[in-house]
C-alpha cells in the first residue's frame, strides 16, 4: 500500500481459485463425494449399524458460544470467534467425520431484532438455514439468565421439521446449583428433544453432544469426502481471519462496521500473496483501524498473517488496505458487493 492509500497496479496478479466446491447447505451432494472421496469409510462400516449423515445448525442469541462449539466439535479453527456479539456473518460449515456418521455443521449469525438492512438479511439467512437442517442445537449460555432474546428464538422453533436440542453452553463458568436452575428455565422454553450441558472451552460433554446429534441424523450415504473439514471457499476463511484480527481491541461500536473483502490470492513458490480490503463506514473509523502512524493496522496484519499461515500452510505476504464504504450496512448495492 502506498502512502495515500492507493495500491500499486494489479498487473501480473491472478485471481484466486476456490479450493473446494460443494453443494449449498441442505442440498444433498453427489453420493460419490467427488474426486477426493475415499472408499475406506464404506469398508469400515459394520453391516448392522446404519451410516448417518446430515446437517446440524447451532442457533442462539449473539455471543452464546456457537462458533466456539463448532470449532470444538470439528477440532480446527474454522468459524472465527471473538468476545464481541455478532461476530459471525457468514454461514460457515464444519464437517465432523466419524466411522459411522458424518455431521455437517452450519454456523449462522446470532438471531436478533434487526435494526439495519444487514440485520434483516442476516435474520433471513438464519431462517433459511433452519428450514433446511436435520438437527437444530439452540445454545443458551449458562452464565446468563434466560432472557427475552432466548424467548424470541424459542417462539420461532415451533413450526420446524428439524429435531430441536437445547445446548446449555459455557458450563465451566457457573456452579452446579446455578446450572441446575438454568437447565430448568431452559426446559420451560420449548419441548426440546434433549437438553445437553457442555463447555467448548474445557471440552466437557462435547463428545456426548456430538453423539446425541448424530442419533437424530437420517440414514444417509456419506455427504462429503473424508478429508474435507469445511467447504467455505478459501478467500472467505482468509477474510474472516483478517476481520477477527481487525476486531481485536477496538471500541464496542466498531465491530459491526468492519467488513473484509479478499481481492486476490497469488500462490508463488512457498509464499502466498494476499491483497485484501478492510471496509469501515466512516473516516473516523478508518483512523481507528489504521492507528497512529499505521501501528494498529500493522498489528492486525501481523496477527492475521500468523493465522492465515496456519490455515493455508505457506508463508504469507499480506497487503491490507482500509477503505471507507459510507453506511454500507444500509446500502443494498454495497451489501451485495461485500457478499451479503
Ligand X SMILES: Nc1nc2c(ncn2[C@@H]2O[C@H](COP(=O)(O)OP(=O)(O)OP(=O)(O)O)[C@@H](O)[C@H]2O)c(=O)[nH]1
Cβ 235 to ligand X, closest distance in Å? 20
Site residues (vs ligand X, CB under 6 A): 60, 62-68, 81-83, 85-88, 109-110, 169-170, 172-173, 199-201
Residues 232, 262 contacting (CB under 8 angstroms): no
Give the residue with the Cβ less far from ligand X, 103 or 297: 103
Residue 109 marked ligand-binding: yes
Residue 64 marked ligand-binding: yes
Residue 34 marked ligand-binding: no
Buried b (16+ CB within 10 A) or exposed e, 193-208: ebbbbbbbbeeebbee
Give the residue with the Cβ less far from ligand X, 222 or 329: 329
Residue 172 marked ligand-binding: yes
Give the residue with the Cβ less far from ligand X, 249 or 313: 249
Residue 12 marked ligand-binding: no
Label residue 220 exposed, middle or buried (CB < 10 Å: 0-12, 13-18, 19+). middle
Cβ 269 to ligand X, closest distance in Å? 36
Residue 66 marked ligand-binding: yes
Lookup: cell for 199: 463447555
Cβ 89 to ligand X, closest distance in Å? 8
CA-to-CA dists, residue 50 to 19, 42, 45, 236, 307, angstroms: 31, 11, 8, 35, 38
Give the residue with the Cβ less far from ligand X, 54 or 110: 110
Give the residue with the Cβ less far from ligand X, 163 or 199: 199
Give the residue with the Cβ less far from ligand X, 51 or 58: 58
Cβ 62 to ligand X, closest distance in Å? 4
CA distance 25 to 55: 8
Cβ 28 to ligand X, closest distance in Å? 26
Label residue 147 exposed, middle or buried (CB < 10 Å: 0-12, 13-18, 19+). exposed
Residue 180 marked ligand-binding: no
Give the residue with the Cβ less far from ligand X, 102 or 108: 108
CA distance 137 to 104: 13
Cβ 299 to ligand X, closest distance in Å? 19
Cβ 171 to ligand X, closest distance in Å? 7
End-to-end CA distance of the chain: 26
Residue 13 marked ligand-binding: no
E-assigned strand segments in 173-314: 194-197, 259-268, 271-280
Q: Cβ neighbours of residue 257 under 8 Å, at least 6 residues apart?
A: 280, 281, 282, 285, 329
Q: Cβ neighbours of residue 171 under 8 Å, at least 6 residues apart?
A: 142, 179, 197, 198, 199, 204, 205
| Annotated binding-site positions for GTP | 60-67, 107-111, 169-172
Amino acid at each position: 500500500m502506498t502512502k495515500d492509500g492507493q495500491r500499486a497496479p494489479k498487473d501480473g496478479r491472478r485471481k484466486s481459485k476456490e479450493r473446494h466446491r460443494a453443494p449449498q447447505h441442505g442440498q444433498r451432494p453427489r453420493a460419490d463425494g467427488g474426486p477426493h472421496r475415499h472408499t475406506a469409510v464404506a469398508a469400515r462400516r459394520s453391516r448392522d449399524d446404519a451410516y448417518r449423515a446430515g446437517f446440524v445448525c447451532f442457533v442462539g442469541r449473539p455471543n452464546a458460544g456457537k462458533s466456539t462449539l463448532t470449532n470444538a466439535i470439528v477440532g480446527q479453527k474454522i468459524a472465527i470467534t471473538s468476545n464481541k456479539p455478532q461476530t459471525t456473518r457468514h454461514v460457515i460449515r464444519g464437517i465432523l467425520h466419524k466411522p459411522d456418521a458424518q455431521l455437517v455443521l452450519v454456523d449462522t449469525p446470532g438471531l436478533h431484532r434487526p435494526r439495519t438492512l444487514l440485520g434483516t438479511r442476516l435474520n433471513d439467512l438464519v431462517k433459511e438455514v433452519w428450514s433446511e437442517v436435520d438437527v437444530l442445537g439452540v445454545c443458551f449460555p449458562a452464565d446468563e439468565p434466560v432472557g427475552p432474546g432466548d424467548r424470541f428464538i424459542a417462539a420461532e422453533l415451533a413450526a420446524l421439521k428439524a429435531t430441536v436440542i437445547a445446548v446449555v453452553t459455557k458450563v465451566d463458568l457457573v456452579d452446579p446449583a446455578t446450572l441446575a436452575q438454568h437447565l430448568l428455565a431452559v426446559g420451560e422454553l420449548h419441548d426440546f428433544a434433549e437438553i445437553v450441558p457442555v463447555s467448548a472451552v474445557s471440552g466437557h460433554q462435547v463428545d456426548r453432544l456430538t453423539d446425541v446429534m448424530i442419533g437424530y441424523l437420517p440414514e444417509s450415504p456419506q455427504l462429503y469426502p473424508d478429508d474435507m473439514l469445511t467447504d467455505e471457499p478459501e478467500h472467505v476463511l482468509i477474510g474472516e481471519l483478517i476481520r477477527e484480527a481487525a476486531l481485536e481491541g477496538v471500541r464496542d461500536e466498531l465491530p459491526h462496521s468492519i467488513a473484509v473483502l479478499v481481492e486476490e490470492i497469488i500462490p508463488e513458490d512457498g509464499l502466498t500473496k494476499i491483497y485484501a480490503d478492510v471496509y469501515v463506514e466512516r473516516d473516523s473509523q478508518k483512523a481507528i483501524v489504521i492507528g497512529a502512524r499505521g501501528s494498529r493496522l500493522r498489528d492486525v496484519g501481523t496477527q492475521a498473517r500468523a493465522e492465515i499461515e496456519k490455515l493455508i500452510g505457506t508463508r504469507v505476504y499480506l497487503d491490507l488496505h482500509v477503505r471507507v464504504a459510507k453506511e454500507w450496512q444500509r446500502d443494498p448495492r454495497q451489501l451485495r458487493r461485500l457478499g451479503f
